[in-house]
Every structure is written in structure tokens, then in C-alpha cells.
Amino acid sequence: MSVFAKNCKALKKLSCGSCTFGAKGMNAVLDNCSSLEELSVKRLRGITDGAAAEPIGPGVAASSLKTICLKELYNGQSFGPLIIGSKNLKTLKLYRCSGHWDKLLVVIADRVTSMVEIHLERLQVGDIGLAALSNCANLEILHLVKTPECTNVGLKSVAEHCKLLRKLHIDGWKMNRISDDGLIAVAKHCSNIQELVLIGVNPTCKSLEILANNCQNLERLALCGSETVGDAEISCLAAKCLALKKLCIKSCPVSDHGMEALAGGCPNLVKVKVKKCRAVTCEGADWLRASRGSLAVNLDTVEPEPLDAASATDSAQDNGIEMPPAVTQVGAANIASSSTSRSTSFKARMSQELKKISLVYWVGRASVVLVPVYRSDLMRAATFRQDRFY
């Protein structure tokens, strides 16, 4: 990595996944690649755990970095100096990184106030860290996915100080810690909201009406796994959300009466997707199509299954709502049926079958992805794929 970094000083994008180099290799890149703009790191196995971990960054790359994405890192907080030193950072994405992040997020938000997009997924972070992000006054996009320690208190702080917020995704994991109170604060202070995704959150007419009245630019709305979203709530949205263009309703207690309300409301609505809502019938969907010929109505009456972020994400993406990438339903089914046996077989035979580990460089004009490829009889039929850049 040191040799690579010294010979690729014009590098702009770097994505590495499941590599065995550690802090020294990463620091070599940061110390030599002064034009680096995007960095994505997933499962970097060479990072030392605990107090002995060598700090990563900031290096000369800190001045040019605009996007940092950390995924599934056992000691992701060792990247703290890099994040804190990246004064021009615009996008920060932290996915499934161990450790408690509140204290570090407080320091990050105090030093790096230029961020406009933040994703926190399956992260141990609470209201202290979330409230600290309110220091980013230019924040436009916020994703809170399965962060059960975040409550209305933290969301209120963000809403009151980040008034440019236009995209908000919340997966409450059915913990009921974010509710009407937090959503009302968003409605009162963030009138620029264009896209709202609520998964496992239980809003009522109380918050939805204020959202509809105050957020006149709301165009995309997804309500998934909400026990409180029924016909009355859909009727409220139909009457008040004049700018709404795309609506996704999944695993909610909505019936054909809710579809009737949509037929006479939301004049700019172009697409509705209803999935796993048992009380919505094919006749109700057909009636909605007939009533509004230009409206695309997608009804899926498949028997409900346990809600998770991946399946809810799929529904929202089908409605044109940007969400973290998830496997398709077909892919999920295949994975569910085969991943356990394949994983067990792979682990049992790896020590015998593994012949050689080689580092494959996939080089673009100014970007590189580093992924270890295992050459063995077992893996020859495997396909090589690139992790999506963030």
C-alpha cells in the first residue's frame, strides 16, 4: 500500500473491502494522495483493536476529502483524526461500526461544520451524538437507520438547527422512541423537506397534518411498518399534501377506504405503491386506477413478513425514493435459502482449498478498488463484484 500510494498521488477515489492492511497502509494513502476526494472502507482487517490502535489520518488528503464512508469496522473510531481533520467534508456515512460514537460525533460536529449529508446505520449513538450534529447548519440529508438510542430529544435538536433539511429517513426499529413529538418538530422547523421515509415509526394524524400543512414541498413519502397509519391518516395526507408525487405504504392497517381518499386528493400524485396491507384489495386498487387514469398504482398483496430495513427500503426505492442499497426480494429469497450452507461449507473447506491470495487492482482513470480475491477450486466459479461507492 505504501508503494501504491507513492505512485498514485493523483488518486481521487479509493474503495477497499476485506483487505488485510491496517493503519500504516491507510496512512500511507492519506499522506501521499493529496487529491483524494472519496474514501470508502469496509471490513479493514488489519486495524488493531482497543487502546493500542494506531490513529488514522489526517494526512494531506484531509484537505481534499469530500466523502468518507466506513462500513463494518471493528475499530472504526481510529478514523476519528481523519474525519475531524477533513474540514471540507460534505458527506459522512457510518454503517455498522462498533463502539460508542457519541463523544466522537460531538468533536466531529464541532470541528467539521460543512457536512450536508450524514448516514448513521446500526450505530451505537444516542441523543448526545445526534444533538451534536445540529451544529451542521447546512445539513440537507439525514439517515437514522436502526439507532435505537436516538429519541425525540435528539431529533428535535437537529430539526431546530438544521432548517435546510430536505431528505429525512428514519428506521425506528419499532422502538417507539421517535414519535409524533419529534416529527412535529421537523414539520415546524424544516419546511424544505422534500422526501420523508418512516420505517417502524408510528405517526398519527397529529403529526402528519402538521407535516402536510408546513412542508409544502413534500414530494416523496414512504410509510412502512407503521401500526398507527390507517385510513384516517391516509385521508389526512390526501387532503393536505398538495405537492406529493410518490407515496409508498407498506405493512400498514390501511384499507380500500384509504384508496378512495387518495382518488380525490393529492392532485400531483403520479405513483402509489401499496405493499402487504391486508385490507387493501385488488378491487380497491383497480377503482383507484380507474378514478385517476394517469396515476400508476402498484399493489402487492403478498402475505406480510417480519419487517426489516432491507425490505422496506426496496419498497421506497421502487417509488423513486433514495435509500441505502438493499437486496431485491428474489435475491433475498435466494440468499436466505443458501447462505447458511454455503457459509458453513466455505469455512470448513477454506483451509484446505485456499491456494493463494492475490490483491486485485481495479484501476479507473483516478480511482481504485482493492478487494482480496481467493483463488481456489472452491472460488473459481464465484463472481467478482465492486462495492458501491459512497
Q: 191 with 108, same domain? A: yes
Q: pLDDT by residue (tens digit) across 336-382?
A: 344 444 444 444 444 444 433 333 334 444 555 555 544 443 343 33
* Distances in whole angstroms, Cα of residue 112 to Cα of each of 47, 91, 147: 24, 11, 22
Q: 144 with 234, same domain? A: no
Look at the alpha carbons of 44, 45, 46, 47 in this order and tell me if their dihedral is positive or negative.
positive
Q: pLDDT by residue (tens digit) across 82-102?
A: 999 999 999 999 999 999 999
Assign 189 a pLDDT band (cuts: 50, 70, 90).
Answer: very high
The number of folded domains in the chain is 2
From 215, 231, 258, give the residue that closes a domain: 215
Q: 202 with 229, same domain? A: no
Q: 160 with 264, same domain? A: no
Question: How many CB atoms are closer than 10 A to CB 114?
Answer: 14
What are the two backbone dihedrals, phi and then psi, of residue 227, each rounded to the nearest 5 degrees? -70, -20
From 192, 215, 238, give the residue that closes a domain: 215
Percent of the chain scored above 90 by pLDDT?
72
The verdict on residue 263 lying in a domain is yes
Q: Over 80: is that where the pLDDT of 53 sits?
A: no
Tell me the pTM: 0.79
Q: Over 80: is that where the pLDDT of 175 sits?
A: yes
Q: What's the mean per-residue pLDDT of the chain?
A: 83
The verdict on residue 159 lying in a domain is yes
Q: 224 with 273, same domain? A: yes
Question: How many CB atoms are closer than 10 A to CB 203?
Answer: 22
CATH number of domain containing 125: 3.80.10.10
Q: Is 132 helix (H, G, I), strand (E, B) or coil?
A: helix
The contacts of residue 147 (CB under 8 Å, 6+ apart) are 120, 121, 122, 123, 125, 130
In angstroms, the CA 367 to CA 110 distance is 30
The residue behind cell 490502535 is 53
Q: Are 83 and 92 in contact (CB under 8 A)?
A: yes
Percent of the chain scored above 70 by pLDDT?
76
Q: 207 with 223, same domain? A: no
From 164, 185, 215, give the residue that closes a domain: 215
Q: What is the dihedral of CA 136, 139, 141, 144, to 10 degrees?
A: 20
Structural domain boundaries, residue 138: 100-215
Q: pLDDT by residue (tens digit) across 225-277?
A: 999 999 999 999 999 999 999 999 999 999 999 999 999 999 999 999 999 99
Q: 258 with 202, same domain? A: no
The contacts of residue 341 (CB under 8 Å, 6+ apart) are none
The verdict on residue 25 lying in a domain is no
In angstroms, the CA 78 to CA 48 distance is 9
The verdict on residue 85 lying in a domain is no
